[in-house]
Each structure stands twice: as C-alpha cells, then as structure tokens.
A and B are shown apart, each in its own frame.
Chain A
Amino acid sequence: MDQTIYVAGVGVISGIGNNVAEHLASFEREAAGMADITLFETIHQHSRPVAEVKLTDDELIAQTGLSTHNGRTALLSLVAAREAMTDADIPDIKNWRTGFVSANTVGGMDKSEDFFVHFLADNSKGKLKNVFDHECGSMTEIVADELGISDFMTTISTACSSSANAIFYGARLIKNDILDVVIAGGADAITKFTLNGFNTLMILDKELCKPFDENREGLNLGEGAGYVVLISEKVAQKLGKRPYCKLSGYNNSNDAFHQTASSPDGTGSYLAMKKALKKSGLNATDIDYINLHGTGTPNNDSAEGTAIKRLFHPAYPPMSSTKSFTGHTLGASGGVEAVFSVLAVKHGLIYPNLRFKTRMTDLPFEPETKFQKGQKIKHVMSNSFGFGGNCTSLIFSEVKE
C-alpha cells in the first residue's frame, strides 16, 4: 500500500504567465506580475498592486471553449488543469481510475458580486444564473466535466493551504488504491470580496511585496491556478517517459492559535515541515531548496522564519518566496508553487526572491535573490500555510535514472 507517488505532468497560469513555459521565462527575466487592478472598479484601484492573469474573461472563454461563463476561478482552473493533463500524456487514460481534486476559496464570487449590484438596487433585478455557481464545489464540477473526469472529484477549501491539501489528499487516494491518476491542485481568481477582506486585515502592501525582508509591509494578492498530475507506480510503468519527480513527503498540522495569524513560534508550520520530512524519510540537511509560503506579511514571514530556524539551524538550504512574482494566489498558491517546486527538481532551478534587501533581525539566514539553473536539486520543500492555522508542507524528490 505504501507505494511511490509520481508527478507525471504540470500546468500553471498566474500573473507571470499563461503556461509553464511562460513562467520559466518570467523567472529567468526576474519579471514580477504585479500592477494596478483592472478586473473591476474599486477605491483601491491604484493603491493595492495585484498580480492579475493577463487575460480577460472573454479571452479565457475563447481559449478554453467553455460555453457558459460561470466564474473566472473555473476558467483559470480549466486552463492549468488541461495543460497538466496534456503534459502528462498518460496512455489510455480511460483505462485508469482518474480523479480531480481541486481547491479554491472564492468559488463563483466574482459573478455573485455582479449579481448583487443589480439585486440590491432592485430585488426584482439581477441574473440568477450569476449566482448558480457561487459555491466552491461548482468550480470543480465545471472543470471535471470539461476534462472528462467522472470517476472521482472533490473540492478542498482550507484557505491558503487549500491546493497543497488537495495534492496531499490526491496522493492518499492513490496510496489507498482508490484511484490510479489524480489531477490535483487548485485555482482562485481575484475578487472584491478577497481584496476588501485582506485589506480589512491590514495585511496588503501598498507597494510591491518584499517577502522575508526586515521592512516588509504585507502581501500583494494574485490569482491563478496550478495542478500536478499524480500517478501510481503501475501508471508510471506505462508512461513511456520518466516522471518529473515523486511526491515523497507531506503533512498538515494546525497552529491552533488565531483565526488569521500565525503563532509567534510558528508551531503549526514547524510541525508541518518536521512531519513532512519524517514522512519522506529525509533529514533537514537533505532539502536542497525551500519554496517558502513567504507572503510578505510581518506575521507570516516572522513565524515561518522562526519555524525554519528551529528545524534547519545551522545549515540552511537555499530558499525563496515566488509570491514576489505571482503575488499570493490564495487557494491556488499551494498548486502553483507545487508546480514551481516540481520544475525546480526537474530542471535544477532556484527562483529569486525579488526585492529582498535587508535580512530580518531575528533570523540568521536570508532568501536567494538570483535566478539559478543547472543546480543539483534532489529534494524541494514547498510550504503553504493558511488562515485557521492550517499548515501544510509538501516534499518533492528526484526520480533516479
């Protein structure tokens, strides 16, 4: 039952690219995706930079071929999930038990926001079809239908660790012989709801975010989707190519401290990283790169940094927050960053942590600031920590020749 879980395909869309190739190019050019808000009108238009996907809803509809527009989250999800499936190119996929485990936190909120403008002005107005797909599960169903996946589908919504938990859960479904193939990850679009919510919590930076910098002032919201195709050993044997890597470790631990803040010691993140290492049978010194949760808020980076210090001191691996490129894609971030982690293993990449200047006072380490390729990367840890203290770490490891 304790079989190896392989990653056979990846797909991603975010503020720095509409597919995997464009992401790699943006990383190499060190080009971040943040700019003024264009998706909707808001008083925060020019004062809260966000990393929007550079395609309008209409362009996404044209690209995906979705006949009805049920929310930007579903559109983003379909683009990345389809890329991942195409990339995996699993022979005779119909013969395998295939599942879609997709995470998101906003569902069809963008459409609901359109509805309420009209409905609140006149309660006989507003198109009901705009609220039909409000709930998170609808996003998964729309995309699973388009992908032709009917054996299994489920939606996970645990704030910013959602997609990492979807990947974690997908792996368990394969390990327990319930499925052979799982497309796992998540999606989230920027909406007024999330922008105003995070603004209320006073954790949005008015400038471009500076993760793990002493003078960091908050996060920038982003949007996107990221999926990995997880397969069993049996499927891997039929794949006809070497998988990207394996998913060797994972853990979810709760901080149990505060609704929206991490504990000062980073108890949840420490436990998630430590237990993911244990699951993978690795030591802290085996990790070659950490893709940080690194939101850029004073609280997250301090807690995550403290947890890393507890676990890794004195030998710190290279680490960086790719949110300095993509912004914080919330429910999608675990999937988006899992794709980056998989690519790091496959191509020996270390991503730069943009705009880093000053080391944090209490930490004896700092993030990488230069794009590096051709590195020897055997094991990558990807952190995703969510509101409610929901902390998940994943570990991706090389597949030997």
Chain B
Amino acid sequence: MSASNYITSSSAISDNIVFKDNKPVFENQGAEVAELLLSVYQHFGFNYPKFYKMDNLSKLGWLAAEVLLQNGFKKDDYRPEEIGIVLTNANSSLDTDLKYVETIKEFPSPSVFVYTLPNIVIGEICIRNKFKGEQAFFIQEEFDPDFIVQHVNYLLGNDILKTCVCGWVDLLDQSYHASLFMIEKENHEGSVAFSTENLNAAFGNRI
C-alpha cells in the first residue's frame, strides 16, 4: 500500500490563537474558552445559527474545520461519500458529561444530554459540509500521529475515501486544543507529505 498522500491544509486552535497552515490568523488573549470560541466565530463572519446550540467541544471542532476548509479546499472535486473524518482526543465528551451531571441535580437537560458523545462533533462538521464518507472518533491518551497516518492511509489506500479530515479535537473546562489536517492524494502548492513527522511538527508548534 503506497502512502504518498499529502497534508494539503491544516488548522489549529490553541493558546487563544487560531492558525491556518501554521500561520496565526486570529488571536484573542485573555479570553475564557466560551468567549474565545464565540470571538472566533464572529471574527471570521461565520453564519450558522446552530453554532450557538453546540457544546464547547463541537464549537471547537466545528470552528477548526471551518478554518481548515476555507480558501483552498475544493469540495466539488469530490462526491460527498468520498470525504471522511477521523478525529481523536483524550477527554471524550467529558466536559459536557460533567455539565450534564450537574443538570440532573435540578432537571436533566435534553439539549445538554444530546452532546454527551464525542462523535457528535463529527456529525456537526458533516451536517455543515454535507460530508458522507467513513467517520471514526478514537479516544487516546495523547496525540498519536502514527495511528492517524496508518488509519487514514488505509482509508485512502483502499479507496474507501478520496480525502479525509483528520486530527485532534480535545476540550475539558478551560483546557483545549484542536489541530486538524486535510489529507488528499494530490500534491498541491504548499502541501507537505502526510507523515508522522509533519503531523507532530504542526501539532507541537502550538502547544
């Protein structure tokens, strides 16, 4: 199985900075998580009312995906079934799980309850972009680029997908980190090889 796939774009949100292709594109120092996420949404002028209903994990992943897919990704080159998503994180949906447990004390909240699964963030990204390919969400202690490279290369190498959004979306209370990658088979201008080293470099740059 050849592994000649490329990172054609990347995005990240960490330390109150939003990155696109490793360059900072927005910064809001001092803001708490909820405030930061809203400021990112407003800064980029996104218009998607459902954003306000999402939990923080979904907001984080959704915003990182919006930034990732802006300016460059040619969605129309692919059929919806050819675009997949593989995400990982360490804290699952624990941030919302804890908030939900709090609501039980008074009245269990349906709108919080429906976010008590980590893969809901994948659903939010797919619904927004009409992606219909293979999806998976893995819980891992730490960012594992070897695993992501192996898994996504398998999906692309066996024609299960033509392109894949992958990476890390983790959030617990005030601690968060999103780092997403667009993986395609074609080399574009500015692309780098889809390798453990390049994932690690992009991920580590921003911690």
Q: Could you tell me which A residues sit within 8 Å of B by CB distance? A: 196-197, 199-202, 254, 256-260, 388
Contact = CB atoms under 8 A, between A and B. Distances in A.
Contact of A259 (B108, B114, B130): B114
B127 A200 contact: no
Contacts of A260: 110, 114
B25 to A, nearest CB: 29
A275 to B, nearest CB: 15
Given A200-B108, A200-B110, A202-B110, A259 B120 contact: yes
Nearest to B114: A259
Contacts of A202: 110
Interface of B: 108-110, 113-115, 117, 120, 123, 126-127, 130, 132
The 8 nearest A-B residue pairs measured at CB: A200-B108, A259-B114, A200-B113, A201-B110, A256-B127, A260-B114, A202-B110, A200-B110
A256 B127 CA distance: 6
B127 A199 contact: no
Nearest to B104: A200
A204 to B, nearest CB: 12
A399 to B, nearest CB: 35
Contacts of B132: 254, 256
Nearest to A254: B132
Given A200-B109, A256-B126, 15 more contacts: A196-B108, A197-B113, A200-B110, A200-B113, A201-B113, A201-B114, A202-B110, A254-B132, A256-B127, A256-B130, A256-B132, A259-B114, A259-B117, A259-B123, A260-B114
A258 B127 CA distance: 9
A257 B130 CA distance: 11
Given A197-B113, A259-B114, A260-B114, A388 B108 contact: no
Contacts of B127: 256-257
A366 B66 CA distance: 44
A220 B109 CA distance: 20
Which of B114, B120, B132 has the largest number of chain A CB atoms within 10 A? B114
A200 B108 CA distance: 6
Contacts of A199: 108
13 contacts: A196-B108, A199-B108, A200-B108, A200-B109, A201-B113, A201-B114, A202-B110, A256-B123, A256-B126, A259-B115, A259-B117, A260-B114, A388-B123
A203 to B, nearest CB: 9
A328 B153 CA distance: 41
A262 to B, nearest CB: 14
Of A197, A199, A202, A256, the most chain B CB neighbours within 10 A belong to A256
A200 B112 CA distance: 10
Contacts of A197: 113
Contacts of B120: 259
A71 to B, nearest CB: 22
Contacts of B113: 197, 200-201
A257 B120 CA distance: 12
A261 B86 CA distance: 24
A78 to B, nearest CB: 30
A199 to B, nearest CB: 7
A202 B111 CA distance: 11
Contacts of A196: 108
B97 to A, nearest CB: 13
Nearest to A197: B113
Which of B117, B127, B132 has the most C-beta atoms of chain A within 10 angstroms of its own C-beta? B127
